[in-house]
Structure 1
């Protein structure tokens, strides 16, 4: 039987320190109804009009993306593997995203019917939609059940929004990344360490382990005041173009971070991840994170294509967050007024992490 992970480690991964911890929160409840949590995918490109596949907008309510796609495959009588998806969307929400279908499925589209799924008219496209083929996601979220007067809740929320706009949002993975009650956390770390058999590329358990180490890394840097500090060896990213390079001159790169040109990246450990040069402070910090979970760096090289690894920004800047009051609603049950937020996030960033800064 595996040794349970220390409680302090689990908390650091699933409940890491908030960036706005010094500001008062507003409490409240999200997802009081699915219509209070709306997500719209921002596609990376439009349909090119060429034959081969078709792009279709899929709108769903209170249904997981994978369940919705499987239902589409079933009704259209095509294998699930032939449907392309750029990203997965929240289950307890109303969401809109693009999917791709093989061209031959067009004949069956008119007969598709489901109470929680709507499909748009098809648009010809030359290739299958792949994972991460999106610019980001647009969110509309209503926070209800506030125990504060709306004026005070709005004042507090505005202070948090101002902080996030200037200093950025810590780009943690949301707790949903680790499965119900974080059940994928320990198996994920064990898989990275070679103590469990790996499955196919994209295994959720394996990615949970990578995400846990990233959260631990970011939480460690944040607690040491290093989220926006350039260390020699850091892999820095240009915020406009996305290009990455290793920090060799911390003083000059620090000025560029302060000017909003660069952001520090953290490790999504894997077999081919770009890592800091040995002996640099950044390299030593990444090795420290691995030692906390007793993971031998040599094990990472054996992960192969199942977990090549990558770099992830420590901070992201949501598109200007719009804040407004949301009226009470009577259906399906009576719900009190609340605060409405509208914002956009990069692919892979979690709205729940932003809401955590507001609600606590």
Structure 2
């Protein structure tokens, strides 16, 4: 799905393969704080391979003999990857289990452990560190490097990645069908469907800003998002200071993650077609609260290396909620080509 949404800087400059094997897609979660050392929540920093976050959560719940809802984590991590992330397990009044059972034949490694007073919540982590290997690269290295340099300085459109919509868009199709039929689904499935619908609306509004060429510019009436923060404010008048801060990457326009609003969200409604408006109405009726997401994704500590074996190695940090595939999609047409393991 990485050609579904318009690029900000023209067509892809070539093609490449991602996720040839899990080790080609390494993600390290950066929590941004240390467990306090006391409390009833056991924090585990785990490395997983070829497992979804939900699968690992359920495995932890089984070992700890607790409900999956007692387990917290910051975000969903890829299955076809090697990922490191924190989990919290509420163990009030319970004996701590033998966590070595996690490592028995599952490909899971326990990297660190601590205790904290609060359960982990979605999106509370600071960032994710990505180390990627792109294979079968077919692109002019000089042209690609020029675009990478621009992307490092100016960022890319902050699209939700293909993972949010499922393989070949399957989750989004199921979500639309659920919206039409109104059938009851599990709590996890409901959350998955609402997230896919919400992300689809956001990407559509962002795509319109990309087509207009003002996705990284603050316009009158925009919501301004502060870099590295969830803070935001409404910009009624675009001052010179706002322009300079946006050019420096300190501020970016924010677009709505749809839900119930206490006030007018303004311009985004005017760029939506009937299908998008129907989805917005459904999201509001589902009880979601309006939130905001930056239209721009700025990588930190972004580096790359072209190798003699035809691979491209990339390293970068993205804020919580940022997708590596959104960064890659700005310069390359990529495909997933996982090796079957026996």
Tell me which interval the TM-score lies in, with the shorter structure as reference length: 0.7 to 0.9
Of 246-255 and 61-70, the range deviating more from structure 2 = 246-255
Give, in angstroms, the shift of residue 248 of structure 1: 1.3
Gap change, CA 1:102 and 1:302, over 3 Å in 2:
closer
The reply to whether residue 228 of structure 1 matches residue 216 of structure 2 is yes
The reply to whether residue 57 of structure 1 matches residue 45 of structure 2 is yes
Q: Distance in 2 between matches of 1:325 and 1:284?
A: 42
- Deviations, residues 177-217 of structure 1 (Å, cap 9, x unaligned): 1123323335545777x873676586111121111111000
The reply to whether residue 127 of structure 1 matches residue 118 of structure 2 is yes
Give, in angstroms, the shift of residue 326 of structure 1: 4.9
Gap change, CA 1:186 and 1:146, over 3 Å in 2:
closer
- Deviations, residues 155-195 of structure 1 (Å, cap 9, x unaligned): 33321221112221110011221123323335545777x87
Equivalent residue in structure 1 for 2:136, among 136, 142, 145: 145
Larger radius of gyration between Structure 1 and Structure 2: 1
Q: Distance in 2 between matches of 1:230 and 1:326?
A: 39
Give, in angstroms, the shift of residue 316 of structure 1: 1.5
Give, in angstroms, the shift of residue 51 of structure 1: 2.9
Q: Distance in 2 between matches of 1:298 and 1:90?
A: 30
Indicate conservation of the 8 Å contact 1:30/1:143, yes or no.
yes
- Deviations, residues 122-154 of structure 1 (Å, cap 9, x unaligned): 312222212112001000000111245xxx43x
Give the structure 1 partner of residue 8 of structure 2: 19
Superposition misfits of 4+ residues, deviation over 6 angstroms:
none
Higher strand share: 2
Indicate conservation of the 8 Å contact 1:271/1:303, yes or no.
no
Equivalent residue in structure 1 for 2:233, among 237, 240, 245: 245
Indicate conservation of the 8 Å contact 1:160/1:358, yes or no.
yes
Equivalent residue in structure 2 for 1:316, among 274, 286, 297: 297
Q: Distance in 1 between matches of 2:154 and 2:121?
A: 32
Give, in angstroms, the shift of residue 291 of structure 1: 3.8
The reply to whether residue 346 of structure 1 matches residue 332 of structure 2 is no
Give, in angstroms, the shift of residue 116 of structure 1: 1.2
Q: Distance in 2 between matches of 1:270 and 1:347?
A: 20
Q: Distance in 2 between matches of 1:109 and 1:92?
A: 24
Q: Distance in 1 between matches of 2:120 and 2:148?
A: 34
The reply to whether residue 98 of structure 1 matches residue 86 of structure 2 is yes
Of 41-50 and 139-148, the range deviating more from structure 2 = 139-148
* CA root-mean-square deviation: 2.7
Could you say which structure has the greater relative contact order, defined with CA pairs below 8 angstroms and 6 or more residues apart?
2
